[in-house]
Amino acid sequence: MKKLLYSVVYVALLGFFLSACGGGAEEAEPENAATEEQATDEQAPTADAGEVDAKYQQSCSKCHGGDLVSGGAPDLNAIGSKYSQDEILGIIENGKGNMPGGLLTGEDAEAVASWLAEKK
């Protein structure tokens, strides 16, 4: 009887953990994004980085952490030294291990892959 109870609890916790990495439907506001009034020619890359960071926060930070290291999934703070931009894009689009594919698609996936490839 105890084995059955432990099995049920284990399966429930495993399901909860795996489902936490999906979704990302809610909007996330970037903390340091420049507003249009603040944007100048010099700040344009920062604004783009802020938009990419917002996409990461919305779709990836639940598992990988808002700081790229504090989540339960693998750390991403030096992912660019392990994988190329194309390999990162493939992982984002197709998933790997427990990570589901398709959390980001198209230009969003390409932008986040490029941003992560710079993390070395």
Domain boundaries, the chain: 45-120
Q: What average pLDDT does the segment 26-35 reach?
A: 46
pTM for this predicted structure? 0.61
Mean residue pLDDT of the chain comes to 77
Q: How confident is the model at residue 44 (pLDDT cuts 50, 70, 90)?
A: very low
* 106 CB-near residues (< 8 Å, 6+ apart): none
Q: How confident is the model at residue 22 (pLDDT cuts 50, 70, 90)?
A: low
Q: What average pLDDT does the segment 44-57 reach?
A: 76
CA nearest to 66, candidates 51, 78, 77: 77
Give tens-digit pLDDT for 53-91: 999 999 999 999 999 998 899 999 999 999 999 999 999
d(CA 3, CA 17): 21
**Residue 119: which region, alpha, beta or left (left: phi > 0; alpha: psi -120 to 50)?**
beta
Here the tokens at position 29 are: 């506001």
Q: Between 2.60.40.10, 1.10.760.10, 1.10.274.100, 3.40.50.2300, what CATH number should domain 45-120 receive? A: 1.10.760.10
Does the structure show a pLDDT above 90 at 101? yes
Strand segments, DSSP code E, in the chain are: 95-96, 99-100
